[in-house]
Amino acid sequence: MSRQSAIDAVTRYFDKGQFQSDLADLVAYPSESQNPDAAPELRRYLVEAMQPRLERLGFTTELFDNPVPGGGPFLVGERHEGDDLPTILTYGHGDVIRAQHGMWREGLEPFKLIEEGDRLYGRGSADNKGQHLINLAALESVLETRGKLGFNTRIVLEMSEETGSPGLSEFFAAHQDRLSADVLIASDGPRLQPETPTMFMGSRGGITFDLSVDLREGAHHSGNWGGLLADPAMILAQALSTITDARGQLQIPEWRPDSLTDKVRAALRDLPIEGGEGPAIDLDWGEESLTPAERAYAWNSFAILAMKSGVPEAPVNAISASARATCQLRFVVGTDTEAVLPSLRRHLDEHGFQRVRIEPFERGFFAATRLDPDHPWVEYVRASLQETSGQTPHVLPNLAGSLPNDAFAGILGLPTIWIPHSYRACSQHAPNEHVLKPVCRDALRVMAGLFWDIGEGGTPG
């Protein structure tokens, strides 16, 4: 039996439709962590879908309650083959973002996998059920081909990632020995381009907060009171306009990172970021001195996620009493997270906007992390992916989005490598979420090759 035999086995798994069938079973669990009524589904996904599959692979498994009230449960699995072998930790999350029933296009629904051409539609198909299914299937192909993995494996499955991973850090701190490993190899997020394997070694952090202006009780007729009553929407709009300039460049010094090194620039230099599906990039938006790749992966970005004043669906001739905007800062390593909101408060006050309140979201934020692109494990994984795919992988210092990588890198002290199995236009937090079949097929092959290689030895010490 050979490396190619394992890759061929997982390719047959896909070509015969078994991957699609297995993914359909997982998508059918309505595991919305943002929906309190769906709490029983979070545990059911682990008990019914994940534990039996892992135990068939020779894992011992245990379910844990979340140490944070209201957080979803954790499943920890372990397959131990030898004290002298490397240990790989992997991860996935079985919870999904809100289903958004009634917003999907005709013929689609959130919790039913529907195949159309090269697309598999369903909530969780991309984020993250399809991704951890690919990794488990790749492990299965290696085990079936060789009769053993050739390394020890630990897995963590959580059910609260879409609400900010509450309890994950506390859980890791309490179970460090049980989760110790040589490296994290997991999957989330999108490839840079669908046809080419991607690796990233960390993520941008994210902090979300509301800016609000509340001036009085009730709205008042704009004819009778126009010019006499301050307009909260105008005040808020003016305040927001000071945070960036007209092209979105950050105007708060503390929000501008200091970590764009020559090594990071070199890693990003030849990476393609334009093209493919999804909207065209606005080349005249963001930090003018940076390339598009540097703006997305090595710099901070501010976004207004939502705004409201009055009743936009049915406006009336009245000056609103209040206005609110939900805002977000995505930030890279080199940003002082403790200074983000205090510096915003100071900035607003200096510009005369003392009436604008800052209201942080209760769920907090993910921290920013990054592993050097020349780390030995990065070189090892890169070589394996290239051998299987025949292409040079895209290597990102960190993902543009946010995920709980800080718990793995900070608390467990692991080098972290993420190999995403989706693509940027997958609509992962929107209606019509989907994965591309060619990406899934290719991902199964490169992961089978990687797990085979790890079992052959010669991994970084």
Q: Are residues 119 and 226 in the same domain?
A: no
Q: What does the alpha-carbon distance between residue 398 and residue 298 come to, in Å, rounded to a whole number?
A: 8
Q: What is the pTM of this model?
A: 0.89
For 400-430, the pLDDT digits (tens) are: 988 899 999 999 999 999 999 999 999 999 9
Average pLDDT, the chain: 96
Q: What integer pLDDT is reported at residue 96 of this predicted model?
A: 98
Tell me the pLDDT band of 279, cut-offs 50, 70 and 90: confident
Please, which residues have CB within 8 angstroms of residue 305's CB and are 6 or more apart in sequence?
208, 326, 327, 328
Nearest to 403 by CA among 368, 372, 371, 363: 368
- Number of other residues whose CB lies within 10 A of the CB of residue 350: 10
Q: What CATH code is carried by the domain that includes residue 395?
A: 3.40.630.10
395 — phi, psi (to 5°)?
Answer: -115, 115
Q: What does the alpha-carbon distance between residue 54 and residue 51 come to, in Å, rounded to a whole number?
A: 5
Cβ atoms of residues 396 and 268 within 8 Å = yes
Tell me the pLDDT band of 364, cut-offs 50, 70 and 90: low
In a domain, 461, yes or no: no
In a domain, 437, yes or no: yes
Cα-Cα-Cα-Cα dihedral sign, residues 210, 215, 216, 221: negative
Q: Are residues 353 and 257 in the same domain?
A: yes
Q: Are residues 66 and 102 in the same domain?
A: yes
In a domain, 276, yes or no: no
Tell me the pLDDT band of 1, cut-offs 50, 70 and 90: confident
Q: Are residues 187 and 66 in the same domain?
A: yes
Q: What does the alpha-carbon distance between residue 431 and residue 152 come to, in Å, rounded to a whole number?
A: 38
Tell me the pLDDT band of 179, cut-offs 50, 70 and 90: very high
Using DSSP, state whether 329 is helix, strand or coil.
strand
> 376-389 vs 437-456: helix axis angle to the nearest 10?
120
Given 324, 350, 366, the domain boundary residue is 366
Q: What integer pLDDT is reported at residue 147 of this predicted model?
A: 97
Tell me the pLDDT band of 277, cut-offs 50, 70 and 90: confident
Cβ atoms of residues 382 and 393 within 8 Å = yes
For 190-220, the pLDDT digits (tens) are: 999 999 999 999 999 999 999 999 999 999 9
Q: What CA dihedral angle connects 36, 40, 41 and 44, to 10 degrees?
A: 160
Q: What does the alpha-carbon distance between residue 322 and residue 421 come to, in Å, rounded to a whole number?
A: 43
Tell me the pLDDT band of 276, cut-offs 50, 70 and 90: low
- Number of other residues whose CB lies within 10 A of the CB of residue 3: 20
Determine the structural domain holding residue 226 and report its residue range.
205-265+285-366
Q: What integer pLDDT is reported at residue 83 of this predicted model?
A: 97
Q: What integer pLDDT is reported at residue 273 of this predicted model?
A: 83
Domain total for the chain?
2
Task: Evaluate if residue 16 carries a pLDDT over 80.
Answer: yes
Q: What does the alpha-carbon distance between residue 207 and residue 116 come to, in Å, rounded to a whole number?
A: 36
Q: What integer pLDDT is reported at residue 299 of this predicted model?
A: 97
Side-chain-side CA neighbours of residue 78 (13 Å)? 12
User: Region 358-365: what's the mean pLDDT?
Assistant: 81
Task: Evaluate if residue 375 carries a pLDDT over 90.
Answer: yes
Q: What integer pLDDT is reported at residue 366 of this predicted model?
A: 80
Q: What does the alpha-carbon distance between residue 88 and residue 19 come to, in Å, rounded to a whole number?
A: 23
Task: Evaluate if residue 275 carries a pLDDT over 90.
Answer: no
Q: Are residues 147 and 239 in the same domain?
A: no
Q: Are residues 238 and 145 in the same domain?
A: no
In a domain, 37, yes or no: yes
Count H helices and E strands in the chain, helices first: 14, 19
Q: What does the alpha-carbon distance between residue 389 and residue 193 come to, in Å, rounded to a whole number?
A: 14
Q: Are residues 100 and 190 in the same domain?
A: yes
Q: What does the alpha-carbon distance between residue 91 and residue 154 come to, in Å, rounded to a whole number?
A: 9
Given 327, 350, 366, the domain boundary residue is 366
Q: Are residues 76 and 149 in the same domain?
A: yes
Q: What integer pLDDT is reported at residue 373 of this predicted model?
A: 87
Q: What integer pLDDT is reported at residue 363 of this predicted model?
A: 66
Cβ atoms of residues 368 and 343 within 8 Å = no
Task: Evaluate if residue 353 carries a pLDDT over 70.
Answer: yes
